[in-house]
Amino acid sequence: MSFQTGDILIKAEGICKQFGAVKALEDVSFTLRRGEIMGLAGHNGAGKSVLIKIMGGVYQPDRGRIWFNGEEVKLHSPRDAQERGYYIVPQELTVARQLSVADNIFIGRDEFASKYSGIVNKKYIYEKAAQLLREFFNIDVDPTVPVGELDTVTQRLIQVVRCLSAGAKVIVFDETTAGLSQRERDKLFQHIRILAEKGIGIIFISHILSEIMEMCDRVTVLREGKVIGIEEVQNLTIPKLIEMIAGREVRTNTCEKVFPAEEVILSVEGLSTKNKRLSNISFQIKKGEIVGIYGLRDQGQTLLLETIFGAYKRTTGEIKLEGKKVKIKSPVDALRQGIVYVPNRGIKTVFPFKSVVENLILQFSNFKESGIFIRERTEKLFVEEIVRKFTVRGYLSIDEKLSSLSGGNMQKVLIARAMILRPKLLMLIEPTEGIDIGAKQEVKELILQAAKEGTAVIIVTSEIDDIIELCNRVIVIRDGKIRNIMEANEENRRAIIEESIA
């Protein structure tokens, strides 16, 4: 697509922002044109989130100027940006699952309610919601259906239509493909392109560089709060983009798989759950083996790990650990048996406003004999050793809040916290989701190190590359049933994907 100077929707010039001693952005300039898909790339902590939040009125710059549609503006709140047509679609799905499609699109919009009674004209918003979905995406969705009954991509599109119905001219997609299967990503990409064709400006943020190369017209690369370059995608290669992001050549796909021992650590036989959400699940995993679980979203992958961990009750089946049948009725039972579970990074797994120290010693102090940490200094010495071993970076002091760390370093804290317990079985959900390419490689190496030390590892991931690079075998799950168990190698890549969607 060719662009003209008058097509510029947003222009930011000389943006600077500092938080305490940390320079988040330094002399950053950025432009977005009508109908353009602009990639925004950089490591965690490079300044991407700060930049989109400054343009979105969440933060105010210390210095710099911003223009919307050629008019210089001062943004004091997100509402100021939204009034000019700037909306962010975050990584997390922000829909009310129990409300209808129409209610989700028009939630908080009092113009559809009677001035006298306050009652919303349901017939009108149903018709309007259906019209918008057809107009923007050419899809027919029943506007009366609860959003929770729809697939993930359609829920994401409803988020987008909510923005469009309010007058969006610019939409930021901030890591919105995280956790989606390849088929779901392809579907979402198709709809994002439709938006661009209709003149909507798109800012596309992703740590998956192949997505940026596939989707974007241009890419702005940030590193340590500075613009490293703005390039046309047609002039880039993935190695060149990696070098711009990292400031050096980053070796990728260098994982050397671990060969497992013959000893079986975990044996699951005939496991089923209520309503057959899991049905007759049977598999084994050996000492030092990494097994991937792959499938489309919500096919039972996470439920399987939660059931093994005792967080969800099974109706039939048995679990054996090192050949002995075990009764696991709760996560406490699982931890005592040497099973550790690391869910998606988020409120279930971290305490962002607690310190790095407090987050790291949480499980360790709960399940070791009381009194092992006699003094605060002993705690800190212990944690300092752990953060060195697990290459946690990006903090001035281990007393800083965990939220001060990048996503990749936060993930390393979670893996470190799990490995402190010396588990027999380590189970992880999406361990490389939403972290930059350098941090991904480091997290993969930590998982491989756990296997080398004899830990059996199960990972649930939607990243087929992680399956191929890390795992010895892969279990493909569809509709709560194991459809195949095969070697995780490049030769089986297509078969793994096809099995998951057949």
Condensed to tens digits (0 to 9), the pLDDT of residues 69-94 reads 999 999 999 999 999 999 999 877 88
What does the pLDDT read at residue 118?
A: 58
- Percentage of the chain exceeding pLDDT 90: 51
Contact between 360 and 388 (Cβ < 8 Å): no
Condensed to tens digits (0 to 9), the pLDDT of residues 450-480 reads 999 999 999 999 888 899 999 999 999 988 9
- The closest of 466, 34, 49 to 458, measured between CA atoms, is 466
- The closest of 146, 144, 165, 193 to 35, measured between CA atoms, is 193
Mean pLDDT over the full length of the chain: 85
Is the pLDDT reported for residue 115 higher than 60?
no
Condensed to tens digits (0 to 9), the pLDDT of residues 126-154 reads 999 999 999 888 889 999 999 989 888 89
Q: Is the pTM of this model over 0.85?
A: no
Q: What is the average pLDDT across 340-362?
A: 72
Residue 119: pLDDT band (50, 70, 90) is: low
Condensed to tens digits (0 to 9), the pLDDT of residues 373-413 reads 445 667 777 777 777 777 777 666 677 777 767 677 777 77
What does the pLDDT read at residue 369?
A: 44
Residue 372: pLDDT band (50, 70, 90) is: very low
Residue 252: pLDDT band (50, 70, 90) is: low
**Range with the poorest average pLDDT among 141-150, 172-181, 228-237, 280-289:** 172-181
Token reading at 463: 């990243």
Residues 6+ apart with CB under 8 A from 291: 283, 285, 456, 457, 458, 459, 471, 472, 473, 474, 475
Contact between 301 and 292 (Cβ < 8 Å): no
Q: What is the average pLDDT across 62-66?
A: 96
- The closest of 497, 490, 499, 484 to 183, measured between CA atoms, is 497
Is the pLDDT reported for residue 199 higher than 90?
yes
Residue 255: pLDDT band (50, 70, 90) is: low
3-state secondary structure of 421: coil
Distance, CA of 213 to CA of 226 (rounded, Å): 21
Could you give the domains of the chain?
5-246 (3.40.50.300), 264-351+421-501 (3.40.50.300)
Residue 350: pLDDT band (50, 70, 90) is: low
Q: What is the average pLDDT across 174-195?
A: 85
- The conformational region for residue 496 under phi > 0 = left, psi -120 to 50 = alpha, else beta, is alpha
- The closest of 326, 331, 369 to 348, measured between CA atoms, is 331
Distance, CA of 1 to CA of 110 (rounded, Å): 38
Condensed to tens digits (0 to 9), the pLDDT of residues 202-223 reads 999 988 888 999 999 999 999 8
